[in-house]
Amino acid sequence: MFGDENIVTIIIKRTAVLGLIIIGIMLIGIKEPKPYILGYIFGTSISILTFKLMEKSAEKAVTMKPSRAYGYSVRQYFIRYFIYAIVLIIGALADYLSFLTVAIGLLMVKMVITSFAIIDYFKDKFQ
């Protein structure tokens, strides 16, 4: 189905393509799109980076002893949520960013994974 390409790479590419489409829609549909686009790019880029961080931490945790892997995974989990909190605080305080689009950008990887899972489900069901 995916060939030699890593599933994480596929999800990141799909997120980037969807992001470019959404940015295009913002450029066409919003009168002053700059804060919306900047917020969206900021949130989406952090979402992609934390997704890569999750991939790296999972790869490392698999090689550890179970007792150490648990603690390591919990620490990585809290680090990612700390990063999300910092990004949302910046989005709320910065005048040049739209908080709404920062929050939407942070959810982009999750939306891509969910939407393509739904699409694949219906493809399989109707074939």
pLDDT digits (tens, 9 = 90+) for 21-49: 999 999 999 999 999 999 999 999 999 99
Let me know: does 53 contact 76? Beta carbons within 8 Å: yes
What integer is the mean pLDDT of 84-109? Answer: 96
The C-alpha atoms of residue 61 and residue 81 are separated, in whole angstroms, by 18
pLDDT (0 to 100) of residue 64: 92
pLDDT (0 to 100) of residue 2: 52
Residue 1 has pLDDT above 50, yes or no: no
In percent, how much of the chain has pLDDT > 70? Answer: 97
In percent, how much of the chain has pLDDT > 90? Answer: 87
pLDDT (0 to 100) of residue 4: 62
Token readout for 37 is 């686009």
Let me know: does 51 contact 109? Beta carbons within 8 Å: yes
Q: Which residue has the higher pLDDT, 2 or 48?
A: 48
